[in-house]
């Protein structure tokens, strides 16, 4: 099993690791700084450097519980010691984007009691759906203003773990639909963003909301009777 270092430190950019297995699409390492895509956050890209050469990691994902670093046909042999290095600029932009999404869900939940039903992101842009009957341009502008005020308040991010039963009973986590997480997962990773937001989440985040910068609501649209979508942008 791979030791997934982003779960405890999103700011690690590189680490020495060993290739422990090959996969049809890439390699498996004993430890990694690469985030495996999930929860709407894309997997990391980057390079593996070794005496055998330099290898480009095109994506990172899980396959049957294994973290796969996807790459071309040329791969470092099993047993090779490598320097695993992520594309930091891309990752950091994703971290800022992900934290912005959490803050946005908090604004909508606290102000309107609406749950998020789905989201997806790329570096500097994201979309998120809410259980809302309507979402006007004016609504988007109002939310944008509230969001940027909240982000500027420098809320500090804290990561901790919680027993599943305790998490399900926590009213602050109900909106994150904890009950949809597979029963096999007994301990949940919780992301607290000051007193602004609290969610069960496996992704990477910045240490403080002040790092996010200004967020723009780019578009609001209807995706159904009680499903409204908001698109946001975060400059580089």
Q: Domains of the chain (ranges plus CATH)? A: 3-86 (2.40.30.130), 91-233 (3.30.980.10)
Say how far apart CA 14 and CA 34 lie, in whole Å: 9
Q: What confidence score (pLDDT) does residue 160 get?
A: 94
Among the residue ranges 2-6, 15-19, 24-28, 199-203, the one predicted with the least confidence is 199-203
Q: Which two tokens stand for residue 228?
A: 């409204």
Can you name the residues that pair with 4 across neighbouring β-strands? 32
Say how far apart CA 91 and CA 177 lie, in whole Å: 26
Say how far apart CA 73 and CA 53 lie, in whole Å: 13
Is the pLDDT higher at 134 or at 87?
87
Say how far apart CA 72 and CA 57 lie, in whole Å: 8
* pLDDT tens-digit map of 110-130: 999 998 988 999 999 999 999
- Phi/psi at 210 (5° precision): -65, -20
Comparing CA positions, the residue from 65, 79, 62 lying closest to residue 25 is: 62
Q: Give this prediction's pTM.
A: 0.94
Is the CB of residue 220 less than 8 Å from the CB of residue 230?
A: yes
Q: What confidence score (pLDDT) does residue 164 get?
A: 87
For 111-148, letters b (16+ CB in 10 Å) and e give: eeebebbebebebbebbbbbbbeebeeebbeebbebbb
pLDDT classification of 225: cutoffs 50, 70, 90: confident
Say how far apart CA 229 and CA 135 lie, in whole Å: 8
| Residue 23 in this model has a pLDDT that exceeds 70 | yes
Is the CB of residue 126 less than 8 Å from the CB of residue 97?
A: yes
* pLDDT tens-digit map of 49-82: 999 899 999 999 999 989 999 999 999 999 999 9
Average pLDDT of the chain, as a whole number = 93
Sequence-separated (6 or more) residues with CB below 8 Å from residue 43: 34, 35, 36, 37, 59, 60, 61
Q: What confidence score (pLDDT) does residue 180 get?
A: 59
- Phi/psi at 205 (5° precision): -140, 160
Q: What confidence score (pLDDT) does residue 174 get?
A: 56
Sequence-separated (6 or more) residues with CB below 8 Å from residue 124: 93, 96, 97, 233, 234, 235, 236
Can you name the residues that pair with 81 across neighbouring β-strands? 18
Say how far apart CA 203 and CA 189 lie, in whole Å: 9
* pLDDT tens-digit map of 172-193: 775 555 555 667 778 989 999 9
Helix ranges (H only) for 81-236 are 88-112, 137-151, 164-168
Q: What confidence score (pLDDT) does residue 128 get?
A: 95
The total of other beta-carbon atoms located within 10 Å of residue 154's CB is 11
Q: Among positive and negative, which fits the CA dihedral 124, 87, 56, 71?
A: negative
């Amino acid at each position: 099993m791979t030791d997934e270092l982003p779960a405890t430190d999103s700011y690690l950019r590189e680490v020495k690791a060993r290739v422990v297995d090959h996969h049809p699409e890439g390699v498996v390492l004993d430890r990694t700084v690469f985030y495996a895509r999930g929860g709407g956050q894309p997997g990391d890209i980057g390079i593996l450097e070794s005496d055998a050469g330099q290898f480009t990691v095109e994506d990172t994902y899980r396959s049957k519980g294994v973290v796969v670093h996807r790459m071309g046909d040329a791969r470092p042999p099993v047993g090779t010691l490598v320097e695993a290095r992520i594309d930091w600029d891309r990752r950091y932009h994703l971290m800022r984007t992900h934290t912005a999404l959490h803050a946005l869900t908090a604004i909508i939940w606290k102000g309107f009691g609406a749950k998020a039903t789905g989201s997806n992101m790329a570096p500097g842009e994201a979309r998120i759906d809410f259980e809302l009957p309507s979402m006007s341009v004016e609504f988007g502008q109002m939310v944008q203003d509230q969001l940027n005020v909240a982000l500027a308040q420098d809320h500090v991010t804290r990561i901790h773990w919680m027993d599943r039963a305790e998490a399900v009973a926590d009213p602050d986590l109900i909106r994150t639909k904890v009950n949809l997480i597979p029963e096999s997962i007994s301990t949940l990773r919780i992301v607290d963003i000051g007193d602004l937001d609290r969610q069960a989440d496996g992704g990477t985040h910045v240490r403080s909301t002040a790092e996010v910068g200004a967020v723009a609501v780019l578009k609001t649209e209807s995706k159904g009777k009680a499903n409204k979508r908001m698109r946001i942008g975060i400059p580089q």
